[in-house]
Structure 1
Amino acid sequence: MTVCVAVKVHDCIVFAADSASSLVETGHGGQALIANVYAHGNKVFNLRKGLPVAAMTCGMGNIGSVSIGTLAKDLRLKFCSDDPEWRIDPANYTIESIAQKARKFFFEEHYQSLPNQPAGDHEFQFWIGGNGSGAMHGEIWRVRIVNGAAPDPERLADTGDFDILYDGQPEAINRIVNGYSQFLPQALLDIGLSPDHLDAVLTHIESRTRAPLISPAMPVQDAIALADFLVDTTKKYVRFLPGADTVGGDTDICVVTKHEGFKWVRRKHYFDRRLNPVEDDNGTGT
């Protein structure tokens, strides 16, 4: 499990995610059980070096025996290659086209080629955010694999949209941002509210309870601080709930801007940088 947060304002897109990675096993009766939680998963990626494009993942941590982190780096190599089917031309690309290529890579090339696809309910999400070539403002798209099917990539935020977006384990953020629990809709239905009236009731509630935490004119540093706050609060919230700490570990944060491109704000390393002086912050030789 995880929490991933995107903050989109005029000047930037911020992606932030925790590092917890849950190992799930099947118990008696086919029930999914959390066997272990690792604290060092990688969920935020520099998807195409030199361009203002970032990626973030939640849901399934691997496809087959390969982690999403490794697959994301394999996809990055394709984007930098000379293969016309995969190469991203820095002078002529859209975020939508990158999302379409990502869907083909994860779903058609890897998921569908598995000899044994996952059983039971499962979902994989891969968020892509950034500025298309020459675009003033960014976009955010999402690729999903849900129970063996992969719909077309979905645009979560257009160039003129400015918002806080999140997924994974959203309960804490939903309470902070929208002012109510994600379980409220079902509670209202349980006490007899007509399904036909549910959306209208929730819209009315949110109009009175939503917290105005974001402004389109918010500076980059404040957008970063907001994303960090929402991930950190979720980690602390989950810590005190019964059960495993399925959100936790370090928070990785990146920011994408039109002129500065992709920048790491905070990123964990599995190596000691004092012992690897030729490594830059992307984990590659300078």
Structure 2
Amino acid sequence: MNTATGQIVELRGARRRPGLFGWLLLAPLLVWLLAFVVAPTGIMLVYSFCQRDELGQVVFEPSLESYARVFDATYLRILLNSMRYAAVTTAICLVVGYPVAYFIGRAREGVRNKLLMLVMVPFWTSFLIRTYAWISILKSEGLLNALLQLLGVISAPLDILYTPTAVIIGLVYSYLPFMILPIYGSVEKLDNALVEAAFGLGAGPVAAFSHVIVPLTWPGILAGVLLVFIPAIGMFAIPDLLGGASTPMVGNVIQNQFLGARNWPFGSALGTTLLLMFAAIFLLGMRREPER
């Protein structure tokens, strides 16, 4: 009996341990991560401690000059502005995306699939094409101003393009699906019996929402906030196209250091600092739990 039990345990352990076939299935993913995530990050980390010569070439001499420059008042102000834009974008996406995700998650299956398809439709078009479309919409003679003037809401065109408002609009439009989809995944798994029990115990809509629904959908909220806030800080295309030179973000500074100023060590130091900040935000968000 003991021998048979031991064999069963060994078989179960063998099934749990990944064999050669399992590692072969993971090999493409591991190679991709090594080539396009680990290696570039390592190169950026090494360059951040190097120097630059007069011709813009990287000189492999250890130095902390680039990191000291990161904390210059000018770049700190740009970093804080980037965080402010990302925070406003995240807040708007959460306020708009949560009701949408909740409605989709509680809809009938046939309707739910169609609504999810509508959320995914923007991903079928190039990101740059969608951003250029917003230029046509927001410019003085664009669709938005023409519609508002036609309805009599305004008498003169609004100057929206190349302003912080245009940047926020572009960021919210681009990242809203990244807020809706994770929250939808949590709402879909929400047990109606718990919500009904809260109402049965005398809780009102606000109390049931804050003490039952929000804690149960917290993983989706946290994932959505991270998926929106973190990439929004480093975005450079939308501020460049919709904000012009009036709203530089840290992503634009990094892009300029690599492509324009040819200061790769400083650009790498900015990127490394941003990466460390992302890791800190992620760890903080993973450790924080809502009150139940």
Q: What TM-score, normalized by structure 2, do the two folds share? A: 0.25
**Bigger proportion of residues as strand:** 1
Q: What TM-score, normalized by structure 1, do the two folds share? A: 0.25
